[in-house]
Structures are given as C-alpha cells and as structure tokens.
C-alpha cells in the first residue's frame, strides 16, 4: 500500500487527480470507478481543468459510480447523478452513454441492483476505483455491519451517515433513508483502489481502516486485503497513522 500525506485539501486533490490522469493516459479506454461527496470535488475540478487545457481526454473512458440515493430523480440537485453531471461529466469530453450511476428511481430496486452488478462485471470491473471514506468507516454506502455484503444492494443509511450528509440538504429529515450501493465484491474486484480522505473528522476512520482489525464494523478495513491500494489524505485525516506507513 502506498500512502501520500499532503499538506491540505488542495494538495490532496491535485495528487489524486494526478493518479487518475496517469491511469487515463496509460489506458485511454479504462474504466474509472467514481465517488461523490465533498472529498472528490477538488479532484474533479482539477481533472476538468486539465481536460479543458487539452492535456487529458476522457473520450474513450467509461465510468461506474458507487452509489445513488433511492427515490431521488437524476435531476434532483442532491442526487448523485446530478452531482456527477455538475462536478465532472458536463465539463469534460466523456461520452454520456459511457457514464453509469445506479438508477435510484428504478421501480424494482432489487432488479436494478442485479442489473448494476452485471453491468460492472461486463465492463471488467474498474481499472481504478476512487473512494471516499465515511466518518464511520463506510465505503460507498456499505455501512458498519455484522458481515460484508458482496453484491450491489439496497442499504438503510445509518443515523451517523444521515447526520453527516444533512449538510447538503435543507434538514436531516430530507436526507433519503435508503440508497443503492455497489457491494464490497465489485469494489475489491477493481484493479487499483485510490482512497482519499480530508479533515480531522476522518482521522479515526482512516486509522481504524488501515491499522485496525479487518472487520465489517469498519467496512473500509477490507481494503487491507486488496493488493493495490493508494491512500491520499491531508495531514488532518492522516494524523493518527504511524510514521512507518509513509515510507
Ligand atoms: C459517495 C460515497 C461515500 C463518500 C463518503 C465520504 O459516493 O460513496 O462513501 O465517499 O460518505 O463523503 P464525503 O466526501 O462527503 O466526506
């Protein structure tokens, strides 16, 4: 595992964007696994800038997103489809049909989960999977649990996640209570994992994930079993990690 400790959010974003762009340059038709939330917005901004400058092209790239709220229209400004359009897809040369986000409005959510698993499998899984981490150690919306769920599934969001995400909504009551999330199986099948973390409120989760026991109580801890993980964080988020991890 490789760890990059960057001095602040901007440096973290630039480093993460560099790693993604290296993948796209090396393999122009790669499959990128993408995340939403406040952590990757700076990374996406940097990628947009390089695309606009003509230094980086997404013309052949395919993407698969990790998750989507159940019951939000793609046009809802808090849906993850909307997030991806406004933070990345609308500003780069990606082919719209090559972008994939679970359909939170599917009539049959279980069927949508099966469809999404098949889709990700048919693309050969992500070459590079970008992840954020929840303050409770979740990855995608795989919440702390008594077992790891392998496949894409519908999840009930924990109180902790609803509280964390309430900042994007008018109130906590408006945060959807359920979401569709890629399971641990698809995430672990990615060729390479790039996990990014920013801020002191992520420090304990990052420590538990990479220095603690591998347990579904901290879903990100499963990444200890993946053989190509890059962790990029700012000083605050990585403050609890021992020095030897940065060598
Ligand atoms: C989003 C996702 C989540 C977030 C996590 C951190 O697609 O899968 O796991 O990465 O909740 O969110 P932020 O970045 O908002 O702190």
Does 150 have pLDDT greater than 80?
Answer: yes
- What's the pLDDT band for 247 if we cut at 50, 70, 90? confident
Which pLDDT belongs to residue 142?
Answer: 96
User: Is the shortest distance between the CB of 36 and ligand 1 below 6 Å?
Assistant: yes
Q: What is the mean pLDDT of the chain?
A: 97
Please work out whether the CB of residue 67 comes within 6 Å of at least one atom of ligand 1: yes
What is the mean pLDDT of the segment spanning 24-50?
98
Mutate to test the pocket of ligand 1, among 33, 72, 100, 134 (most ligand atoms within 8 A of CB): 134
Q: Nearest C-alpha to atom 12 of ligand 1 is from which residue?
A: 37
Please tell me if the CB atom of residue 202 comes closer than 6 angstroms to any atom of ligand 1: no
Residue whose CA is at the smallest distance from ligand 1 atom 3: 140
pTM: 0.97
Q: Tell which atom from ligand 1 comes closest to the C-alpha of 37.
A: 15
The reported pLDDT for the residue numbered 58 is 98
- Which pLDDT score, from 0 to 100, does residue 53 have? 98
- Element (DSSP H or E) covering residue 206: helix 203-211
Measured CA distances, 213 to 6, 71, 94, 210 (Å): 25, 35, 39, 8
The CA distance from 101 to 30, in Å, is 17
| HSE-CB of 112 using CA atoms within 13 angstroms | 21
Q: In a 10 Å sphere around its CB, with 0-12 CB exposed, 13-18 middle and 19+ buried, how is residue 90 labelled? A: exposed
Instruction: Give all strands of the β-sheet with 67-69 in edge-to-edge order.
Output: 67-69, 178-181, 153-156
- Check: CB of residue 223 under 8 Å from CB of residue 210: yes
Query: Is residue 104 within 6 Å of ligand 1 at its C-beta?
Result: no
Burial of 77 (0-12, 13-18, 19+ CB in 10 A): exposed
Catalytic residues: 67, 136, 138, 143
Ramachandran class of 50: left when φ > 0, alpha when ψ lies in -120 to 50, beta otherwise? alpha
57 Cα–ligand 1 center, Å: 25
Is the predicted pLDDT of residue 159 greater than 80, yes or no? yes
Local structure of residue 242 (DSSP, 8 states): -
139 pocket-lining for ligand 1 (C-beta < 6 Å): yes
What integer pLDDT is reported at residue 130 of this predicted model? 98
- Least confident window among 90-94, 133-137, 165-169: 165-169
């Amino acid at each position: 595992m490789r760890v990059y400790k960057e001095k602040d959010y901007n440096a973290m974003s630039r480093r993460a964007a560099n790693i993604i762009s290296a993948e796209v340059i090396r393999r122009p038709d790669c499959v990128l696994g993408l995340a939403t939330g406040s952590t990757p917005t700076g990374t996406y901004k940097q990628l947009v800038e390089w695309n606009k400058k003509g230094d980086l092209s997404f013309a052949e790239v395919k993407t698969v997103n990790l998750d989507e709220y159940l019951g939000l229209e793609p046009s809802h400004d808090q849906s993850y489809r909307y997030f991806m359009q406004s933070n990345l897809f609308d500003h780069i040369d990606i082919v719209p049909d090559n972008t994939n986000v679970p359909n939170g409005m599917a009539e049959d959510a279980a069927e949508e989960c099966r469809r999404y698993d098949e889709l990700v499998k048919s693309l050969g899984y992500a070459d590079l999977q970008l992840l954020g981490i929840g303050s409770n150690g979740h990855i995608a919306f795989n919440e702390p649990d008594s077992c790891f769920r392998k496949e894409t599934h519908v999840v009930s969001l924990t109180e902790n996640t609803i509280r964390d995400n309430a900042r994007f909504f008018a109130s906590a009551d408006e945060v959807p209570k359920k979401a569709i999330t890629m399971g641990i199986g698809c995430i672990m099948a990615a060729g390479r994992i790039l996990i990014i973390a920013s801020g002191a409120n992520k420090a304990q989760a990052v420590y538990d994930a990479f220095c603690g026991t591998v347990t579904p109580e901290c879903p990100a801890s499963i990444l200890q079993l993946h053989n190509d993980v890059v962790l990029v964080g700012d000083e605050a988020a990585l403050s609890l990690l021992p020095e030897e991890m940065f060598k």
